Amino acid sequence: MSLEEVLQPAIDLARDGYTIDSYFSEQIADNAERIAMFPATAALYLDPDGNPWPEGTVIVNDDLANTFELIASDGISVFYEGEIAADIVDAVQNAPVNPGMMELNDLANYRAVRRQPVTTNYRGYDVYGMNMPTSGGTTLMMMLNLLEGFDMENMEWGSLDMVSTLANVQNVAFADRNQYMADADFVDVNVDGLLDKAYARERRSLIQSFSAVSTPVDPGQPPVIELEEAAEETSYAIDWDDTESTSTTHFSIVDKDRNMVSVTTTIELLFGSAVLVPGRGFLLNNELTDFSFAFEDEQGNSIANAPTGERAPRRTALGEDAATEGGKRPRSSMAPTLILHNGTPFMAVGSPGGSRIIGYVFNVIVNVIDYELDIQSAVNVPRIVARNGGITLDTELFTLELTGGLTARGFSVSDGNTGSVQAVLVGPDGLLYGAADPRRQGVALGH
Ligand code: DON
């Protein structure tokens, strides 16, 4: 399909307008103060008196429709190098709050890179995910490699032992994530060593029992593996409320030929930086906040995910004095994942949720492969998430019995997970089963 064809539904939606549902109206209200700081953003999401538009309001965004039409007619270069680029830079440099230092060159030099996926095998299933600069794929696979050594068959779903094991495994994997993972174009990330099965065995020995591995877990020393030659990096109308997250969105698709797609997109916070490019109708992200805010650890060692390093020191929006590198990408946690079984498509899955994304996707994969839950149940059931610290449990699991048992084992426990896992599974009967997360009013469609 041509760019024009692909953009047409979005152009129509922006031109005809979309209705604010209850979820979105809450999100606008929760962010009204930030939105009000930027006149162009306020003009779209607040009424003339500065109040959030209520549920039921139709938002028309002609500026955005015009932006898409311009891209459709002139091609994507108008965004990175043409008049839209100039307006983006102007909006950043002249923002009334926290103006940034983005320059035209930053956009002109930006490249989307085709990267090799990371992969592991989990109990006979081939799992593929996104490589650096997201920590999502590699950390997820480290969790699976660790869990593979545990006999989950003997741990009932939701039992104290199962929850303890899932939490310990996530904590151990997160120690290495936090230490080593960052944009591999700027720091060396030993992905092969981190995903080595022997290394997983070594790290698994930290989990001697069902008691809590004391956190924060120290990072390990992944082995250096001889590398093989690296491969070159080289519409339809739906009558429903708009339920798309305004910050991070995931969708999974499997088509009739069993081609699978798993896509996560993010502008980081709700409404991103809250800077809407005047006259262009779109928000700018605040993805830079996915960098570490510290440049060095307590021992003075540089932090892999700091916006700094040895290559091409220069300034960024974080400060003129910082020895920062233009072009370094912040570490993400997005974990769009594809799974094959015996060489055939099995599952596409992913979620929004910041650094909890990794745990969400991990839980759902374990629910499907180890506990043989149907895909919708695997998405629905409460989740256990840990990031080299305490455990967060979905409220339904937050019972006195379980939390008491976990506390006695040395875990600190809180409730309050969210996430919005979207998955498609190719069933043993050859049918496609879609599951949308009830936590976020999603819906699975077949057509
Ligand atoms: O790239 C990342 O990992 C984050 N920017 C994702 C943020 C996110 O999921 C927030 N939405 N729920």
354 lines ligand 1 (CB under 6 A): yes
Please tell me the distance between residue 247's alpha carbon and the centre of ligand 1 in angstroms. Answer: 7
**Residues 360, 438 within the same domain:** yes
Tell me the pLDDT of the chain (447 aa) as tens digits. 999 999 999 999 999 999 999 989 999 999 999 999 999 999 999 999 999 999 999 999 999 999 999 999 999 999 999 999 999 999 999 999 888 888 898 898 888 888 999 999 999 999 999 999 999 999 999 999 999 999 999 999 999 999 999 999 999 999 999 999 999 988 899 999 999 999 999 999 999 999 999 999 999 999 998 766 555 555 333 333 444 556 789 999 999 999 999 999 999 999 999 999 999 999 999 998 999 888 888 888 888 998 865 444 444 444 444 444 567 899 999 999 999 999 999 999 999 999 999 999 999 999 999 999 999 999 999 999 999 999 999 999 999 999 999 999 999 999 987 899 999 999 999 999 999 999 887 789 988
353 lines ligand 1 (CB under 6 A): yes
248 lines ligand 1 (CB under 6 A): yes
The answer to whether the Cα torsion of 68, 330, 230, 264 is positive or negative is: negative
CA nearest neighbour of 429 among 392, 375, 387 = 375
Nearest CA to ligand 1 atom 6: 354
CB atoms near residue 418 (< 10 Å): 17
**Residues 103, 189 within the same domain:** no
Atom of ligand 1 nearest to the CA of 355: 3
- For residues 289 and 307, give the distance between their C-alpha atoms in angstroms, rounded to a whole number: 10
Cβ atoms of 420 and 352 closer than 8 Å:
yes
CB atoms near residue 177 (< 10 Å): 27
94 burial level (CB within 10 Å; 0-12, 13-18, 19+): exposed
**Residues 50, 150 within the same domain:** no
The residues that are catalytic are 248
**Residues 181, 58 within the same domain:** no
**Residues 33, 118 within the same domain:** no
- For residues 126 and 146, give the distance between their C-alpha atoms in angstroms, rounded to a whole number: 15
pTM value is: 0.92
- C-alpha distance from residue 239 to each of 11, 18, 19, 88, 193 (Å): 17, 11, 11, 33, 48
**Residues 134, 218 within the same domain:** yes
108, 129, 164 — which closes off a domain? 108
**Residues 94, 150 within the same domain:** no
Nearest CA to ligand 1 atom 2: 332
**Number of domains the chain contains:** 2
Please tell me the distance between residue 361's alpha carbon and the centre of ligand 1 in angstroms. Answer: 14
CA nearest neighbour of 405 among 143, 151, 165, 148 = 165
190 lines ligand 1 (CB under 6 A): no
437 lines ligand 1 (CB under 6 A): no
307 lines ligand 1 (CB under 6 A): no
**Residues 15, 154 within the same domain:** no
59, 89, 108 — which closes off a domain? 108
Atom of ligand 1 nearest to the CA of 351: 9
Give me the domain span that covers residue 40: 3-108
- For residues 163 and 119, give the distance between their C-alpha atoms in angstroms, rounded to a whole number: 25
Please tell me the distance between residue 128's alpha carbon and the centre of ligand 1 in angstroms. Answer: 20
What six digits make up the tokens of 90? 């102007």
Atom of ligand 1 nearest to the CA of 287: 5
Please tell me the distance between residue 351's alpha carbon and the centre of ligand 1 in angstroms. Answer: 9
Please tell me the distance between residue 153's alpha carbon and the centre of ligand 1 in angstroms. Answer: 33
User: Which CATH number is 188's domain given?
Assistant: 3.60.20.40
Atom of ligand 1 nearest to the CA of 289: 5
**Residues 148, 75 within the same domain:** no
**Residues 150, 36 within the same domain:** no
- C-alpha distance from residue 435 to each of 24, 273, 323, 364, 442 (Å): 22, 31, 46, 11, 9
417 lines ligand 1 (CB under 6 A): no
**Residues 379, 258 within the same domain:** yes
**Residues 238, 321 within the same domain:** yes
Please tell me the distance between residue 248's alpha carbon and the centre of ligand 1 in angstroms. Answer: 6
Atom of ligand 1 nearest to the CA of 352: 9
63 lines ligand 1 (CB under 6 A): no
305 lines ligand 1 (CB under 6 A): no
- For residues 28 and 51, give the distance between their C-alpha atoms in angstroms, rounded to a whole number: 10
108, 132, 160 — which closes off a domain? 108
Please tell me the distance between residue 198's alpha carbon and the centre of ligand 1 in angstroms. Answer: 31
